């Protein structure tokens, strides 16, 4: 696991689950400690549904994490969101386990500021 852990979502949902709020709290602590990092919150979906639907759902998922991290004190100007919908899966099996892994937000470090 890297510095920032992924969170996962229920089928067809963008609401944060309690366990994922705890993960986001730890992510926020890390981002406050390493205040020179900037991130992109990447929203992902499983393969079911249309491209358009999953792009919109992925954006709602990314925005949910962005808003929660912001509420925990991570500066909004250090984060951006992007939706990949179903286009960047972790696995490609058509199984419940695989679909659950693909329904996620990933936190990519995109830059470091202040020369660090």
Query: 38: exposed, middle or buried (C-beta count within 10 Å: 0-12, 13-18, 19+)?
Result: middle
The mean of the pLDDT values for the chain is 95
What pLDDT is stored for residue 111 in this prediction? 84
Average pLDDT over residues 28-57: 97
What pLDDT is stored for residue 41 in this prediction? 99
Confidence of residue 31 (pLDDT cuts 50, 70, 90): very high
Is residue 112 pLDDT above 80, yes or no? no
Fold (topology level) of 7-112: 60s Ribosomal Protein L30; Chain: A; (3.30.1330)
Residue with tokens 């470090």: 109
What pLDDT is stored for residue 116 in this prediction? 45
Is residue 113 pLDDT above 90, yes or no? no
Is residue 1 pLDDT above 70, yes or no? no
Confidence of residue 2 (pLDDT cuts 50, 70, 90): confident
What pLDDT is stored for residue 102 in this prediction? 98
**Domain parsing of the chain, residue ranges:** 7-112
Average pLDDT over residues 22-51: 97
Q: Give the whole-number percent of the chain exceeding pLDDT 70.
A: 96
């Amino acid at each position: 696991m890297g510095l920032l852990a992924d969170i996962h979502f229920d089928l067809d949902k963008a609401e944060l689950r309690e366990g994922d709020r705890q993960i986001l709290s730890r992510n926020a602590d890390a981002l406050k400690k390493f205040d020179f990092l900037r991130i992109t919150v990447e929203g992902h979906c499983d393969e079911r549904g249309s491209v358009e639907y999953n792009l919109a759902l992925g954006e709602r998922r990314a925005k949910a994490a962005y808003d929660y991290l912001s509420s925990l004190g991570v500066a909004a100007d250090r984060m951006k969101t992007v939706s990949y919908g179903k286009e960047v899966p972790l696995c490609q099996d058509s199984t419940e386990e695989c679909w659950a892994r693909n329904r996620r937000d990933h936190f990519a470090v995109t830059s470091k500021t202040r020369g660090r």
